[in-house]
Amino acid sequence: MSNEDWTRRSLNAVWHPCTQMRHHAGGGALPLLPILRGEGAWLYDFEGRRYLDGISSWWTNLFGHANPRINAALREQLERLEHVMLAGFTHQGAIELAERLSALTDGALGHAFYASDGASAVEIALKMSFHYWLNRGEHKKNRFLCLEGSYHGETVGALAVTDVALFRDAYAPLVRQAEIVPTPDARRAVSGESAVDVARRAAFGLEAKLRAEEGRVAALIVEPLVQGASGMAMHDPEYLRLARALCDRYGAHLICDEIAVGFGRAGTFFAHEEAGIRPDLLCLSKGISGGYLPLSVVLCRDGIYQAFYDEDIRRGFLHSHSYTGNALACSAALATLDIFAEDDVLNANRVRAEKLYASLASLAEHPAVSHLRARGMICAFDVKSEDPDFSRRFYRAALAREVLLRPIGNTVYLMPPYIVSDEEIGQLGRATKEALAEALAAV
Ligand SMILES: *Cc1c(COP(=O)(O)O)cnc(C)c1O
């Protein structure tokens, strides 16, 4: 069957995520691409055309599609155990993964609670924080703080700490909105301010809120270093140090949502390491399974775990998802950690990240480009354009050059898998510049 057949059947039967389905219809429409197979950084359609996955399939893929080592681990696991419920049962993969993730925090976060998606990890962290304070007799601590422009997922609980109008506003009546505190986004710098100055200014705002709400805040939730979904807003690690100190002073948890920035994406293995701090609760997903299977985890300090440890069942954390700690997903995650260890990935990425930035560096001079920025394996810039269709035009222009890039509004970003070659980085850079020229010329 041709691409067109699959596309038609998909549009008849599948409701696609994050999409106004009408945009797939008619002339000049957003294409819907049926993918037959993947290999390395490339996705192949049914007619042999290929696309360089410049955004790691929504930031999940780390070591390429159909990675031989992850495939081998999954095949082996498949012959032994595909899944077993994690209440009353346990298995080797869930145990080893929890131990290894904890070791990667130097033991600071000693317990792992599994779930299946990022948003469910966020829900778990929020419930755990609230319930911890309840178990400690602090029942007034039921408010959460989140940053301006924060994104923590799209279930009703996660939307409460998400500040992206497009995703949240329609559901506002369903949501118990968290308090929003200023973002440390370095682009907010005014007249000679440095990124550190912006971070300090944002921390002032955080302290004012913590003081005003003293005794009522359970936790602050942040995306460390890069606020992804609202447009790759980057901040100085100083903000995380100040936020850590303020949460300690006012008796609130610090939740780090590293669903997008963990697993080396922002340079260090966990993004919060860059600030020399540890959160109380850490949410991980996306890259955790190398981009293979839905898996998420919340790591917590032992002190939080201990507050639930009791004869009384109501003081326990009774949350669950059917596929919690799925054995296949855990084996993909363990294979992913093996690759990090065996290939010295973080060091190799330092060089790769420089090349990625270099591939876009000339755009710093482009009259329509501002705030060219990078953090680890993420490069982004903002485009001055009044065209409401800029992002879709750019997307189509990049696809025509065999490259998958999906701007967020007027922010274009590169976030490729960690196995991209120099040649592929070159192609990403060239396609970005050409797609930009084409999208800007269209109006
Ligand atoms: C993607 C993302 C989520 C939500 O994860 P899902 O698996 O899509 O539910 C939450 N937080 C951040 C920072 C993310 O980037």
CA-nearest residue, atom 11 of ligand 1: 152
Cα–Cα nearest to 222, from 187, 256, 262, 199: 256
Spatial contact of 203 and 239, defined as CB atoms under 8 Å apart: yes
Give me ligand 1 centre to Cα 119, in Å: 6
CA-nearest residue, atom 5 of ligand 1: 118
How does DSSP assign 106-158, residue by residue?
TTSS-EEEEESSHHHHHHHHHHHHHHHHHHTT-TT--EEEEETT----SSHHH
Distances in Å between the Cα of 328 and the Cα atoms of 143, 310, 324, 335, 402 are 36, 32, 11, 11, 32
257 CA closest ligand 1 atom index: 13
CA–CA dist 410, 398 (Å, integer): 15
Cα angle 314, 319, 324 (rounded to 5 degrees) comes to: 145
pLDDT (tens digit per residue) in 345-357: 999 999 999 999 9
CA-nearest residue, atom 6 of ligand 1: 118
Residue 442's pLDDT is 87
Which of 151, 270, 375 is the pocket-test mutation for ligand 1 (most atoms within 8 Å of CB)? Answer: 151
The kind and range of the H/E element at 393 are: helix 390-399
CA-nearest residue, atom 7 of ligand 1: 118
Give me ligand 1 centre to Cα 115, in Å: 13
Longest CA pairwise span in the chain (Å): 68
Q: pTM higher than 0.95, yes or no?
A: yes
In sequence order, which ranges of 251-389 are alpha helices (DSSP H)?
A: 302-306, 327-343, 345-358
Give me ligand 1 centre to Cα 265, in Å: 14
Give me ligand 1 centre to Cα 262, in Å: 11
Residue 243's pLDDT is 99
Spatial contact of 41 and 52, defined as CB atoms under 8 Å apart: yes
Give me ligand 1 centre to Cα 322, in Å: 19
258 CA closest ligand 1 atom index: 13
Give me ligand 1 centre to Cα 198, in Å: 25
120 CA closest ligand 1 atom index: 9
Give me ligand 1 centre to Cα 438, in Å: 31
CA–CA dist 98, 114 (Å, integer): 9
CA-nearest residue, atom 10 of ligand 1: 152
Chain-centroid distance of CA 318 in Å reads 26
Give me ligand 1 centre to Cα 105, in Å: 21
Residue type for position 272: H
DSSP character for 41? Answer: T
Give me ligand 1 centre to Cα 281, in Å: 15
Residue 27's pLDDT is 66
Which of 263, 285, 321 is the pocket-test mutation for ligand 1 (most atoms within 8 Å of CB)? Answer: 285
Length of the chain: 443
Collapse the DSSP code of 194 into the 3-class scheme (helix H, G, I; strand E, B; otherwise coil) and give the result: coil
286 CA closest ligand 1 atom index: 7
Unique residue bearing structure tokens 């850590």: 244
**CB contact set of 90 (below 8 Å; sequence gap of 6+):** none
Give me ligand 1 centre to Cα 243, in Å: 21
Residue 29's pLDDT is 78
**Cβ neighbours, 10 Å, residue 130:** 19
Residue 34's pLDDT is 97
**CB contact set of 185 (below 8 Å; sequence gap of 6+):** 148, 149, 198, 227, 233, 234, 235
Residues lining ligand 1, judged by CB closer than 6 Å? 117-119, 122, 151-153, 223, 228-229, 257, 259-260, 285-286
Which of 18, 168, 256, 259 is the pocket-test mutation for ligand 1 (most atoms within 8 Å of CB)? Answer: 259
**CB contact set of 385 (below 8 Å; sequence gap of 6+):** 368, 410, 439, 440, 443
pLDDT (tens digit per residue) in 32-84: 999 999 999 999 999 999 999 999 999 999 999 999 999 999 999 999 999 99
CA–CA dist 254, 399 (Å, integer): 40
DSSP character for 178? Answer: P
Residue 28's pLDDT is 64
Give me ligand 1 centre to Cα 181, in Å: 20
Which of 61, 116, 152 is the pocket-test mutation for ligand 1 (most atoms within 8 Å of CB)? Answer: 152
227 CA closest ligand 1 atom index: 13
In sequence order, which ranges of 149-269 are alpha helices (DSSP H)?
A: 156-159, 165-168, 195-212, 238-250
CA torsion sign, 154 to 159 to 163 to 166?
positive
Residue 310's pLDDT is 97
Low-confidence stretches of the chain (pLDDT < 70) are 27-28
Cα–Cα nearest to 353, from 268, 410, 229: 268
Q: For residue 299, which phi and psi values (nearest 5 degrees)?
A: -95, 140
Pairing of strands 143-147, 50-53: unpaired
